[in-house]
Amino acid sequence: MTKGLVDFHCHLDLYPDFAEAVSKAEAAGIYTLTVTTTPQAWPRNRDLTKPSRYVRAALGLHPQLVAERADEISLFEKYVGDTRYIGEVGLDASPRFYHSIDLQKQVFERVLRCCAEAGNKILTIHSVRSAKAVLDMIEHTLSPDRGKIVLHWFTGSAAEARRATAMGCYFSVNATMAASERGKALVESLPFGRLLTETDGPFTKIDGRPTQPSDVSTTVDLIAKIRGQNSVEVAMGIQENLRQLVGTP
C-alpha cells in the first residue's frame, strides 16, 4: 500500500516522461515534492504539477550547477513568489565541486535572503561536506519564523545533526542513506518527529532501476527496522510529521 506515503525529495522532471511520473505519483496518492535543479526548469514544473492534489514542485538552483548557472539566481528571485517550496538548494564541498564553493555560498545566501524576505517557505537543502557552513548560513540569514528547513540526505556529523535538530530542522531519509551504518545511526538517534522520507529518484536505484515515489515504502520499512517499530506506525508518523511541517490538516 502506497497511498499516504511521503516522498519529500525527488526529481520527477529528470525521468524519461515527466508528465507520466507526476501522474503515477498522483494516482498512487503519494505526497511528493519534486525538486528542480535550475530556475529555467521551473515554469514547466509549476504548470505540470499545478492540478495535482499530491504532487508539489519546488523552485531550485542546485549547488552542483552553480558554476555554470549562477546567473540564474535572478530568475530564482523572479519566480520565488510562485511556490512555498524551495529546492534543491544548498552547498556541495565535495572534491568535484569545491572549486565553486565561494560562488555557491554567494548564491545560497541570496536564496536564503530571498526566502527570508518572502517568508513562509519550506526548503529542502543539500549539504554535502558542508553541514557546518549550511547551518551557519541558515542561522545567520533565515530565522525559524521566516522559513522551515529539511536537510536532504544529511551526511554531517552527529554533533551537526544535534545542532540542526536544535535549530528546528527536519531530515529526509532515503533507502540508500538508511542502508549505511552512518545513516542507520542517524535515523536511530534523531527525534522521530523530525523524520521524513524521500527517494531522491532517479539518482537512487532499487533492483537495478531508478527509484520512483512508490519505492519510498522501502525506506519506511528500513526506518521501522532500525527503530524497532512497525511499518504502518512509521508511515503514519511520517505523514503526521509532514502535516506538522506544512501546517495543514
Binding residues for a divalent metal cation: 9, 11, 88, 126, 152, 200
| 3-state secondary structure (DSSP) of residue 15 | coil
Binding-site members are 9, 11, 88, 126, 152, 200
Contact between residue 57 and residue 27 where contact means Cβ atoms under 8 Å apart: no
| CA–CA distance, 126 with 62 (Å, rounded to integer) | 8
**Taking the alpha carbons of 168, 158, 241, 212 in that order, is the dihedral positive or negative?**
positive
| 3-state secondary structure (DSSP) of residue 114 | helix
Closest CA to 27 of 9, 3, 49: 3
Closest CA to 114 of 136, 92, 142: 142
Which long-range contacts link 92-100 to residues 24+ away (Cβ below 8 Å)? 92/63, 92/64, 92/126, 92/128, 92/129, 92/130, 93/128, 93/129, 93/130, 93/133, 94/128, 94/129, 96/64, 97/63, 97/64, 97/67, 99/67, 100/63, 100/66, 100/67
